[in-house]
Each structure stands twice: as C-alpha cells, then as structure tokens.
Chain A
C-alpha cells in the first residue's frame, strides 16, 4: 500500500534518529565504561545534524508529493499522533524518573545530561515506532 506523507515522515524520523543517535549512544556507553571518549560539542553537532537531515529529507518527500504535504492532518492522522505521543510520554516520564534515580550513583553533569538525552531519544523512537504500527495495523 502506498504510504501517506505522514507515514513516510514517521519512517524517516525513526530511521534518522536511529542512524544519528544509535552510534552516538554506543560511544557514550563506552565513555561510561571508561573505554572511550566523546568529544565536547559532539552532542550539539549531532542534534544540529539530525535537525538539518530531518528538514532536507522532509523537503525532498514534500517535493515528490506536494499535495499530500500541504494537506492538513485528517482525523485518523491526528488520532495516531495523539496515541503515539501518549505512549512516548510514559517512556519519557520513566526516563526522567530513572535519570533522577541515577543521581545516587554520583554521576557528573555530563553523564546526567546523557541520561536525559537518552530518555528523550528513546521516547521519540517509541513515538515514531508506534505511529508506524498504528498506520500499518490500524486501530
């Protein structure tokens, strides 16, 4: 079945976030384990890269189907967005609690910021993943 603009958008965001932040958190994990090092500014550079890639790829798919891209979300797409965002909220909430809990392990500010960033990234992955499942499977 041909995908709608919003489903394509969810796939693109999911793939980009995994491609950009997957390797990053692998490096962060090695740094936590004391066998690697993440350079200062990498986090900012990756977030910038992610935003730029999101914009460029979304413009590319919008050019391919400008009518779909311009059309406002319909009721099904709005519902899918709401349901996925609700699920992602619980993930983010759990991540925030876990980040607070890790303070008892005497983490430094950088490490704590990585825990928060990881929570955000996982919540986004869950959101886009759930959107895709709802688009495909229905509800």
Chain B
C-alpha cells in the first residue's frame, strides 16, 4: 500500500524455534492459521498488537520480525 512494503522473517523465526507450525503460532497470538499464512506471504499487514505479539512469541525486537521497505519507483 502507498508504494511501500512490509517484509517479515516469520518463516525463518518459526523454523529456528523448534520448527513451530503456523497453527501453533496462530494459537499463541489468537488468530487463524490462514491469517498467519497471509502475514508470512505478505498478503496482509497485521495490526501493531498482533505484530508485537508475534515478536513476543519469538522473544525478539519488532524490527527483527518486520521490516518496512519503501518500494522503488
């Protein structure tokens, strides 16, 4: 949106945390597995609350989970 993109490292973080499944992460942050999948694929930018919850699950700072990149024009 607005020529900008939010990238994330959730898939890598899940892999590095005992190969946590999307369902396990979804259960811990209170969303559906499909929503976790949509976030991972960049099809949905979560609310700040969910973004912080994801970071808390992996015990990392928010900017290690999400990176904001301005799209090249």
Contacts and interface: CB of A to CB of B under 8 A. Distances in A.
Instruction: Give the interface centre of A68, A75, A137 by most chain B CB atoms within 10 Å.
Output: A75
A29 B47 CA distance: 46
B32 A139 contact: no
A83 to B, nearest CB: 12
Given A138-B44, A139-B43, A76 B37 contact: no
Given A1-B37, A138-B38, A138-B41, A75 B32 contact: no
A76 B31 contact: yes
Chain B at the A interface: mostly helix, strand, loop or mixed?
A: loop
Given A138-B43, A138-B44, A139-B44, A71 B32 contact: yes
Contacts of A77: 32, 35
A3 interface: yes
B50 interface: yes
Interface magnitude class on chain B = 10 to 19
Contacts of B30: 74
Given A75-B50, A76-B38, A138-B38, A4 B32 contact: yes
Interface string A1-37: 1111001000000000000000000000000000000
Contact of B46 (A2, A3, A75, A135): A75
Nearest to B29: A74
Contacts of B9: none
Contact of B34 (A3, A75, A137, A139): A3
Nearest to B45: A139
Interface string B20-32: 0000000000111
B59 to A, nearest CB: 23
Nearest to B34: A4
Contacts of A1: 34, 37
Nearest to B46: A75
Given A1-B34, A4-B32, A68-B32, A137 B43 contact: yes
5 contacts: A74-B31, A76-B46, A77-B32, A135-B34, A138-B43
